[in-house]
Structure 1
Amino acid sequence: MVPIAVGLGAGTKDFEKHPNVLRLILGDCYTQTHTNTEIDADKGTSATATNDNEEQSNHIENVSTEPGDKVEEVKVSKVTSDTDTETCQLWNSNTLTHLEANIDDATPELMAHAIDLLLENGAIDAWIVPIVMKKGRPAHTLNCLCHDEKTKESDLLAMMFRHTTTLGIRIHRNIARASLQRRFLKVKLPYQDNSRDGEVDVKVSSFKNDEVVSLKAEFDQCKVIAKESNVPLKVVSSTAERLAWELV
């Protein structure tokens, strides 16, 4: 990272062996791999050295120092090797928005309904985490992930306000996510005396080089076949995944 600010704070308790002082360094993610950045300890400013064919960039600004502070030289060099870069290209990278609200006065039915609505209206994922709030009250945190689109974010925020009892929602933007490529493969099972005629969609997850990482049969479709053909659900799903592995 490239430091942009330094903060210092002292606590009220005195320790025998060390000072009760906390230092926080705020910085930005470092993305250009060929730039070396140095901090001038005397002036509290920064100087940036780049390759001949690169323009100067990524200045370090607002680095504050207190009298007597020792500011060590910071050098940012190439952060990834060729092997690391090749590995990172195996999956998709994007950013998402995370919405969350603490709720202690809603019924389980209301919370479950809210999750269904969020998923039906564009949320990538939605889930609930049990928590304990002030005064020892058991409660839940309603979480929602969505793409970084202002319109979609506004729609989901409005939905959380309308369909739950929350008065405030925390918004965390630019949440980094790595994801595999996904596609569906249709297989036909030997159990065909059902409304699906034995057909099941299997989700295939793979790297960008087409290496298959995992397979997962669609649960709802397997459930229909298991119920109507009187076959154990675990047998239906495992058979579907086995047939899919033979095709990939």
Structure 2
Amino acid sequence: MSKHPPDQEHIDENMMKVEVNLDDTPGEWLGYVMDKLFDAGANDVYYTPIYMKKNRPAVQLQLLCSEDRFAEMKDIVLAETTTLGIRYYPISVYRMERQIREVDTKWGPVTVKEGLLRDRVVKAAPEYEHCKALAEQHHVPLKDVYHEVWKQLK
């Protein structure tokens, strides 16, 4: 695990990247597996469409976790998918310095995560759950809430 606060620029050492090709796992299971992996402490989980031998459509499950969570991730993948094996390798992850701020919109406040490069904000991302809640509460399209946040950021 990193010895740095999560908002400071740093490199996470002792991380593991896991890959599994799944050509016979039903699509309904994939979301379930993703939730289980995140609940168990995965840093990231995603699927990529691929083609395997004989042009069989499939998905590749990839996940990132700390080395101390690897055994649990492996157990989940092997128990909850149709794979008979996994690929894994150590990896280091660079993390930008981050700061959180609140932006006021006409519908209410939204938390925004900002990425800093040499003490300068170079990217900003509104918190999805806050935007979603405002969109639902005020019966406006989610894209309008995002647009309002981005206007406030300029």
TM-score range, shorter chain: 0.7 to 0.9
The one-letter amino acid of 2:97's match is Q
**In 2, Cα distance between equivalents of 1:118 and 1:212:** 31
Q: 1:126 aligns to what SS in structure 2?
A: strand
User: Which runs of no fewer than 5 residues in structure 2 stay unpaired?
Assistant: 1-7
Q: 1:105 aligns to what SS in structure 2?
A: coil
Displacement of 1:170: 0.6
Q: Which residue of 2 aligns with 1:126?
A: 45
Moved over 3 A (4+): none
Q: What is the aligned length? A: 146
- 8 Å contact kept, 1:202–1:241: no
Q: Cα RMSD between the aligned structures?
A: 2.0
Q: Which residue of 1 aligns with 2:5?
A: none
Give the alignment partner of residue 111 of structure 1, picking from 30, 43, 68.
Answer: 30
User: Which runs of no fewer than 5 residues in structure 1 stay unpaired?
Assistant: 1-89, 192-197
**In 2, Cα distance between equivalents of 1:212 and 1:144:** 28
The one-letter amino acid of 1:238's match is H
The one-letter amino acid of 1:92's match is H
Q: Which residue of 2 aligns with 1:199?
A: 109
Q: Which residue of 1 aligns with 2:73?
A: 156
Q: 1:117 aligns to what SS in structure 2?
A: helix
Q: Which has the higher contact order (CA 8 A, sep 6+)?
A: 2
Larger radius of gyration: 1
Higher share of residues assigned helix: 2
| Equivalent residue runs for 1:69-88 within 5 Å | none
**In 1, Cα distance between equivalents of 2:147 and 2:79:** 41
TM-score (norm 1): 0.54
* 1:28-50 superposed Cα distances (whole Å, 9 cap, x missing partner): xxxxxxxxxxxxxxxxxxxxxxx
Q: Which residue of 2 aligns with 1:190?
A: 106
TM-score (norm 2): 0.83
The one-letter amino acid of 2:135's match is A
Identity of aligned residues (%): 33
